[in-house]
Amino acid sequence: MQRAAFYRGCGRVFLGLVLFFLYAPILVMALMSFNASEFYVLPMEFSTKWYEALSRNEEILASAWRSLWIASVVTVIATGLGTAAALAFFRYSFPGKRILQVLLFPPIAIPWLITGTAMLIFFFSIGIDRGTPAVILGHTALALPYVIVVVTARLATFDRTLEDAARSLGASSWQVTRAVTLPWIASGVVAGALFSFAVSFDQFVISYFLAEPGDTTLPVIIYSAIRKGFTPEINAVSTLIILVSMGIMLLAARYFRFGGER
C-alpha cells in the first residue's frame, strides 16, 4: 500500500513538472505582454501599450493576415485531397497502392529543414518562383500526409457493409459517401483539418525558404524580430495566437463530444 502511494505521489510530481514546463513559459509571456516595461522589470505594471503598438505595426499585422489565409487555403486543399485519398485507399485496390501508402509516411519524419531545402531547389529548377503560391504548395505537401493518416485511422473502424447497404438501397457512390461514410469519418476529417491548419500556420522553415523576403508569414517575421531585438509586441501577438488556437481546440473538443458520434 505504501509503495502504491509512493508511486502515485511520483506520478503527480511528474505530471506537475510536465504541466509547469508546458504552461509556465506561455503564462509568463502572456503576463509580460501586459507589462509596461520593455525589459521585463518587476513588479508588473499593467499596460496595454504593446497591444496598441501591435495594432500600428503594419508588418506584423500584414504577415499575420497572410499566415491566416495561407493556412486556410492549405487546410481546404489538404483536407479535401487527403480525405479523398484516404477514401480511395480504403475502397479500391489498384497497382502500386501499397507503395503509395508507404511513401506517405517519410515526409512526416523527414526534418522540415531538409524538405524545405529540397523544395527550394526543386521549385527553382522547374521555374516556380519564391512567393505565396510556392508557400501554399509546400505547406500542402507537408500537411497532406497528416490528413491521410488521421482519416485512414478513422476509416479503420468503419464497417464496410454500411456502404454495401446504402448501395443496395439505390444510393450512388456520391450519395453513399455523403450520407454514410462522411458522417462516420467527420471527426477524423476535422482533426485532419486542424492538423493542416497548425502545420501551415506554425511553419517556419518552408516559409522562410519559399516566401519572398518582403512578403512573408508571421513565424518568419517573429523570427527576424527576435534577431533584430526583442520587443514585447511579439509577446502580444503570440498571446493573441495562443488565445485563438486554444479557442479552436476547445471548439473542436466540444464538437467531438456533442456533435459527432458517442
Partner 1 sequence: MAEVCVSDLSLSFGSYRALQEIDLTFPEGQFFGLLGPSGSGKTSLLRCIAGFLFPERGSISIGAEEVARVPVEKREIGMVFQSYALFPNMSVAENVAFGLRVRKTGRAEVRRRVGEALELVRLGHLAERRPKQLSGGQRQRVALARAIVTNPRVLLLDEPLSALDKALRVEMQIELKRIQREVGITTIFVTHDQEEALTLSDRIGILKEGRLVQEGTPRAVYAAPRDVFTASFLGEANIFEGEVEAGGLRLPSGEVLQVASGRLGRLIAVRPESVTISTAEPTQAAGHNRLKVNLTQRVFSGAMATCLLDWQGQSLKALARDQDLVDLPESGEVWMSWPAEKSIAIAP
Report the C-alpha gap between 135 and 130 in whole angstroms.
8
Report the C-alpha gap between 105 and 187 in whole angstroms.
21
Using the rule CB under 8 A, is 167 a contact of partner 1? yes
Q: Check: CB of residue 108 under 8 Å from CB of residue 149.
A: yes
3-state secondary structure of 65: helix
Stretch that binds partner 1, among 108-116, 169-177, 193-201, 207-215 (CB under 8 A): 169-177
Between 125 and 168, whose beta carbon lies closer to partner 1?
A: 168
Stretch that binds partner 1, among 101-109, 160-168, 232-240, 245-253 (CB under 8 A): 160-168
Question: Distance of alpha carbon 259 from its chain centroid, rounded?
Answer: 22
Using the rule CB under 8 A, is 259 a contact of partner 1? no
Q: How far is the CB of 219 from partner 1 (least distance, A)?
A: 39
Using the rule CB under 8 A, is 32 a contact of partner 1? no
Stretch that binds partner 1, among 29-37, 48-56, 124-132, 154-162 (CB under 8 A): 154-162
Report the C-alpha gap between 47 and 31 in whole angstroms.
10
How far CA 200 is from CA of 24, 41, 67, 144, in Å, comes to 25, 35, 8, 11
Q: Check: CB of residue 67 under 8 Å from CB of residue 250.
A: no
**Which has the closest alpha carbon to 244: 206, 204, 211, 198?**
198
Reply yes or no: is the peptide bond before residue 43 cis, omega within 30 of 0: yes
Q: Binding partner 1 by CB under 8 A: which of 96, 127, 170, 213?
A: 170
Size of the site for partner 1 (CB under 8 A): 18
Using the rule CB under 8 A, is 48 a contact of partner 1? no
Stretch that binds partner 1, among 20-28, 124-132, 180-188, 225-233 (CB under 8 A): 180-188
Q: How far is the CB of 98 from partner 1 (least distance, A)?
A: 18
Q: Binding partner 1 by CB under 8 A: which of 29, 180, 225, 252?
A: 180
Q: What are phi and psi of 45, to 5 degrees?
A: -125, 110
Q: Binding partner 1 by CB under 8 A: which of 169, 226, 248, 250?
A: 169
Q: Binding partner 1 by CB under 8 A: which of 37, 48, 55, 175?
A: 175
Q: What are phi and psi of 209, to 5 degrees?
A: -80, -40
Q: Using CB under 8 A as the criterion, which residues of the chain lie in contact with partner 1 when the complex forms?
A: 159, 161-162, 164-172, 175, 179-180, 183-184, 261
